[in-house]
Amino acid sequence: MPCWKRNSNQHVVKRRSSRDRPDRKGRYQVSDRSRTGVPRRVAMLSVHTSPLDQPGIGDAGGMNVYVVELARELAAAGVEIEIFTRSTSSDLPPRVEAAPGVTVRHIAAGPYEPLPKEELPAQMCSFASGVLRAEAAREPGWYSLVHSHYWLSGQVGQLATERWGVPLVHSMHTMARVKNRALAMGERPEPRPRELGEEQVVRAAHRLIANTDDEARQLVQLYGAEAGKVDTVWPGADLSIFTPGSQSSARQRLGLAQQAIVLLFAGRIQPLKAPDVLVRTVARLLAAEPDLRGRIVVPVVGGPSGTGAERPDEIAQLARSLGVDDVVSFHPPVDQATLADWYRASDMTVVPSYSESFGLVALESQACGTPVVASAVGGLRTAVHDGQSGVLVEGHYPGDWAHVISALMDDPARLGRLSRGAVEHASRFGWDSTAARVLDVYTDACARRRADLFEMCCS
């Protein structure tokens, strides 16, 4: 039922009050106080990528992890979640139970195949129609709220919430104007229609969820969002999977030499993520210290994506041209448990991205006790505690990155301190804390919507 229509059967869960404070580790605890107005059922929209897809393949990445982990935690708190995504195969069932209380609905919109994001706007009418039909088959007021992810979903969310009379909560994840200010070489700028579409979603949303305070400011400054309807909610990491463990055992399972110096890149292979910066940095390190060649290992774990899919061998060719193809190896995307082993097996995880709304890879690595060397951009400035859990590097000049990494390799004691700091820092970012804060946003959005409707009825 819509969240402004309540009766004695209104679903209530125990949640964190906005007056509560985080504990000494920065985690929010669920309050003992029960609060009404919590939405009973939420329609999540994730048009261009399914939470069931393997992260690291195609367009699947941090947003996939975000959607499914948030949905699981919200369902565990008693809120039923239905996730709508585009069907990319005729073999996919219309409905899949992803977790208790979490259903993924596959909507037929366009051909049964993956489509580049640039081609998806033409399918939005079909997708929106499928979403509206799903609600029409239910009793009135089936969904209490819509939470859309990425601007394409926001466009559909705007239509759905107008039809259903419920609030729209939107998460941008990435923004065209932010990406266009920090383009990697070879990366195409985001098109003007996307910028305009994002503006429309910002105006239509009742609440906007930003990953960091920096993103919240960008929404206000670059898109004219009302500051009062922007909420900062940190993403999380699955702290039951990404945990510290034996480096020796992880290396044994992955077939890595015990005495190797392992510099890990994990993520989609595309110019935005800048794996080329790491390859060029390694070339610098080996030129300065040739004896490292027998010890340094650089695994690249992930698949081509975006413009990187147009030139899938580009990074391997770069490694060959720089004479470091003997130390750089390529591995396909893996499940979370195996990815945790890659983190544990590594001395450092390198995240040289040109732009990141947050950077879940950095957070997951730190949760496993592996320090991160990352670009001082976007959400990475929040995901990494500079000097405590890792090191942030300004710019993308390989010489600067080589200097930082070389200094860490030569100082095991400092690397050990960063490892301990990484675990402590990551402990503040559990998905349960994320879900508790998102529930606050949902509840406030419903309350404001009730007030707006009451005012409309009385005017």
Binding-site positions for UDP-N-acetyl-alpha-D-glucosamine: 54-55, 62, 268, 273, 334, 356, 364
Binding-site positions: 48, 54-55, 59-64, 117, 150, 174, 194, 268, 273, 334, 343-344, 346, 356, 364, 370
Binding-site positions for 1D-myo-inositol 3-phosphate: 48, 59-64, 117, 150, 174, 194
Binding-site positions for Mg(2+): 343-344, 346, 370
Write a three-state SS string for the chain: CCCCCCCCCCCCEECCCCCCCCCCCCCCCCCCCEECCCCCEEEEECCCCCCCCCCCCCCCCHHHHHHHHHHHHHHHCCCEEEEEEECCCCCCCCEEEEECCEEEEEECCCCCCCCCHHHHHHHHHHHHHHHHHHHHCCCCCCCCEEEEECHHHHHHHHHHHHHHCCCEEEECCCCHHHHHCCCCCCCCCCCHHHHHHHHHHHHHCCEEEECCHHHHHHHHHHHCCCHHHEEECCCCECCCCCCCCCHHHHHHHHCCCCCCEEEEEECCECHHHCHHHHHHHHHHHHHHCHHHHHCEEEEEECCECHHHHHCCCHHHHHHHHCCCCCCEEEECCCCHHHHHHHHHHCCEEEECCCCCCCCHHHHHHHHCCCCEEEECCCCHHHHCCECCCEEEECCCCHHHHHHHHHHHHCCHHHHHHHHHHHHHHHCCCEHHHHHHHHHHHHHHHHHHHHHHHHHHHHC
